[in-house]
Amino acid sequence: MKAVLFLLASFACFPAIAQSPTDEAAVRASINQLFESMKKADSTLIKSIMAPGARLQTVMNKQGEVSVQDEAISKFIASVGKAKPGSLDERLSGMDIKIDGELATAWTPYSFYYNGQQSHCGVNAFTLVKLAGAWKIQTIIDTRRKQNCP
Protein backbone atom coordinates (compact mmCIF):
# COMPACT_ATOMS: atom_id res chain seq x y z
CA MET A 1 0.00 0.00 0.00
CA LYS A 2 2.86 2.37 0.85
CA ALA A 3 4.37 1.70 -2.58
CA VAL A 4 1.11 2.65 -4.31
CA LEU A 5 0.85 5.88 -2.33
CA PHE A 6 4.48 6.69 -3.11
CA LEU A 7 3.90 6.19 -6.84
CA LEU A 8 0.79 8.35 -6.81
CA ALA A 9 2.63 11.11 -4.93
CA SER A 10 5.54 10.87 -7.38
CA PHE A 11 3.25 11.34 -10.37
CA ALA A 12 1.62 14.36 -8.73
CA CYS A 13 5.03 15.99 -8.18
CA PHE A 14 6.23 15.42 -11.75
CA PRO A 15 3.39 16.19 -14.14
CA ALA A 16 3.75 14.92 -17.68
CA ILE A 17 4.30 17.44 -20.41
CA ALA A 18 1.63 16.81 -23.01
CA GLN A 19 2.38 16.65 -26.71
CA SER A 20 0.27 19.43 -28.13
CA PRO A 21 -1.35 19.08 -31.56
CA THR A 22 -0.01 22.56 -32.40
CA ASP A 23 3.59 21.57 -31.68
CA GLU A 24 3.19 18.28 -33.52
CA ALA A 25 1.90 20.12 -36.60
CA ALA A 26 4.79 22.60 -36.38
CA VAL A 27 7.38 19.80 -36.14
CA ARG A 28 5.76 18.06 -39.11
CA ALA A 29 5.80 21.35 -41.05
CA SER A 30 9.53 21.91 -40.40
CA ILE A 31 10.38 18.41 -41.65
CA ASN A 32 8.11 18.74 -44.69
CA GLN A 33 9.69 22.13 -45.41
CA LEU A 34 13.11 20.43 -45.62
CA PHE A 35 11.89 18.08 -48.34
CA GLU A 36 10.01 20.82 -50.20
CA SER A 37 13.22 22.90 -50.11
CA MET A 38 15.13 19.99 -51.60
CA LYS A 39 12.57 19.63 -54.43
CA LYS A 40 12.83 23.36 -55.14
CA ALA A 41 16.66 23.37 -54.75
CA ASP A 42 16.15 26.22 -52.27
CA SER A 43 19.19 26.36 -49.99
CA THR A 44 18.02 29.57 -48.30
CA LEU A 45 14.85 27.90 -47.07
CA ILE A 46 16.84 24.93 -45.72
CA LYS A 47 19.11 27.27 -43.76
CA SER A 48 16.06 28.85 -42.13
CA ILE A 49 14.86 25.54 -40.61
CA MET A 50 18.24 24.36 -39.30
CA ALA A 51 19.38 25.00 -35.73
CA PRO A 52 22.80 26.54 -35.18
CA GLY A 53 25.32 23.70 -35.08
CA ALA A 54 22.97 21.23 -36.80
CA ARG A 55 24.42 17.83 -37.72
CA LEU A 56 23.83 15.43 -40.60
CA GLN A 57 24.93 11.80 -40.27
CA THR A 58 24.49 8.51 -42.11
CA VAL A 59 24.75 5.00 -40.70
CA MET A 60 26.86 3.05 -43.18
CA ASN A 61 27.00 -0.74 -43.41
CA LYS A 62 29.70 -1.92 -45.80
CA GLN A 63 29.91 -5.70 -45.86
CA GLY A 64 28.79 -5.97 -42.24
CA GLU A 65 31.08 -3.24 -40.93
CA VAL A 66 28.93 -0.47 -39.45
CA SER A 67 30.12 3.12 -39.10
CA VAL A 68 28.62 6.60 -38.83
CA GLN A 69 29.60 9.16 -41.46
CA ASP A 70 29.29 12.89 -40.75
CA GLU A 71 28.43 15.38 -43.50
CA ALA A 72 28.77 19.08 -42.92
CA ILE A 73 25.40 20.83 -43.04
CA SER A 74 26.99 23.58 -45.13
CA LYS A 75 28.05 20.99 -47.75
CA PHE A 76 24.55 19.48 -47.82
CA ILE A 77 22.91 22.92 -48.18
CA ALA A 78 25.34 23.89 -50.96
CA SER A 79 24.64 20.65 -52.87
CA VAL A 80 20.89 21.23 -52.66
CA GLY A 81 21.37 24.80 -53.92
CA LYS A 82 23.31 23.50 -56.95
CA ALA A 83 20.70 20.87 -57.84
CA LYS A 84 18.22 21.31 -60.65
CA PRO A 85 14.76 22.10 -59.23
CA GLY A 86 12.72 18.90 -59.22
CA SER A 87 15.73 16.56 -59.36
CA LEU A 88 15.78 15.78 -55.60
CA ASP A 89 12.62 14.05 -54.41
CA GLU A 90 12.54 12.36 -51.01
CA ARG A 91 9.17 10.74 -50.38
CA LEU A 92 8.16 9.87 -46.84
CA SER A 93 5.96 6.87 -46.11
CA GLY A 94 5.25 7.92 -42.53
CA MET A 95 6.21 10.23 -39.68
CA ASP A 96 6.19 9.20 -36.02
CA ILE A 97 6.67 12.29 -33.84
CA LYS A 98 7.39 12.42 -30.11
CA ILE A 99 7.62 15.71 -28.16
CA ASP A 100 8.66 16.61 -24.64
CA GLY A 101 8.82 20.32 -23.92
CA GLU A 102 11.25 21.91 -26.39
CA LEU A 103 12.60 18.59 -27.72
CA ALA A 104 11.07 16.56 -30.53
CA THR A 105 12.04 13.45 -32.45
CA ALA A 106 10.63 12.11 -35.68
CA TRP A 107 11.11 8.75 -37.40
CA THR A 108 10.48 8.97 -41.14
CA PRO A 109 10.85 6.00 -43.52
CA TYR A 110 11.64 7.29 -47.02
CA SER A 111 12.42 6.55 -50.66
CA PHE A 112 14.76 8.95 -52.46
CA TYR A 113 14.43 9.70 -56.15
CA TYR A 114 17.01 11.52 -58.26
CA ASN A 115 15.79 12.82 -61.63
CA GLY A 116 12.71 10.60 -61.35
CA GLN A 117 14.62 7.36 -60.69
CA GLN A 118 14.67 5.69 -57.30
CA SER A 119 18.19 5.96 -55.90
CA HIS A 120 17.84 4.47 -52.41
CA CYS A 121 15.62 4.17 -49.36
CA GLY A 122 15.91 4.00 -45.59
CA VAL A 123 14.86 5.86 -42.47
CA ASN A 124 15.57 9.38 -41.21
CA ALA A 125 15.70 10.03 -37.47
CA PHE A 126 15.25 13.74 -36.74
CA THR A 127 15.91 15.65 -33.54
CA LEU A 128 14.32 19.10 -33.39
CA VAL A 129 14.57 21.84 -30.79
CA LYS A 130 12.08 24.66 -30.22
CA LEU A 131 14.18 27.83 -30.41
CA ALA A 132 12.59 31.26 -30.04
CA GLY A 133 9.18 29.65 -30.61
CA ALA A 134 10.13 27.83 -33.85
CA TRP A 135 10.98 24.15 -34.34
CA LYS A 136 14.50 23.85 -35.83
CA ILE A 137 16.23 20.70 -37.04
CA GLN A 138 19.20 19.92 -34.80
CA THR A 139 20.16 16.47 -36.04
CA ILE A 140 19.36 14.18 -38.94
CA ILE A 141 20.77 10.66 -38.95
CA ASP A 142 19.69 8.24 -41.66
CA THR A 143 20.15 4.81 -43.14
CA ARG A 144 20.55 4.23 -46.86
CA ARG A 145 20.10 1.07 -48.84
CA LYS A 146 19.53 0.16 -52.46
CA GLN A 147 17.96 -3.27 -51.87
CA ASN A 148 14.51 -4.07 -50.47
CA CYS A 149 13.11 -0.61 -51.18
CA PRO A 150 9.35 -0.22 -51.46
The answer to whether residue 3 sits within a structural domain is no
Closest by Cα among 16, 74, 22 to 43: 74
68, β-bridge pairs: 59
For residue 136, the tally of other CB atoms under 10 A from its CB is 16
| Residue 6: band (very low, low, confident or very high) from pLDDT cuts 50, 70, 90 | very low
Q: What angle do CA 112, 88, 97 make, to 5 degrees?
A: 55
pLDDT of 105: 98
Specify the number of domains making up the chain.
1
The answer to whether residue 5 sits within a structural domain is no
pLDDT tens for each residue of 11-30:
444 444 456 779 999 999 99
Choose the weakest-confidence range: 54-58, 60-64, 107-111, 132-136.
Answer: 60-64
The answer to whether residue 11 sits within a structural domain is no
Asked whether residue 4 carries a pLDDT value surpassing 50, the answer given is no
Residues above pLDDT 70, as percent of the chain = 87
Structural domain including 34 reads 19-143
Residues recorded for the chain: 150
The answer to whether residue 109 sits within a structural domain is yes
The answer to whether residue 75 sits within a structural domain is yes
The CATH number given to whatever domain includes residue 35 is: 3.10.450.50
The answer to whether residue 67 sits within a structural domain is yes
pLDDT tens for each residue of 32-66:
999 999 999 999 999 999 999 999 999 999 888 99
Asked if 54 and 138 count as a contact pair (C-beta separation under 8 A), the reply is: yes
DSSP alpha helices (H): ranges in the chain?
2-13, 21-40, 43-49, 73-82
pLDDT of 16: 43
The answer to whether residue 124 sits within a structural domain is yes
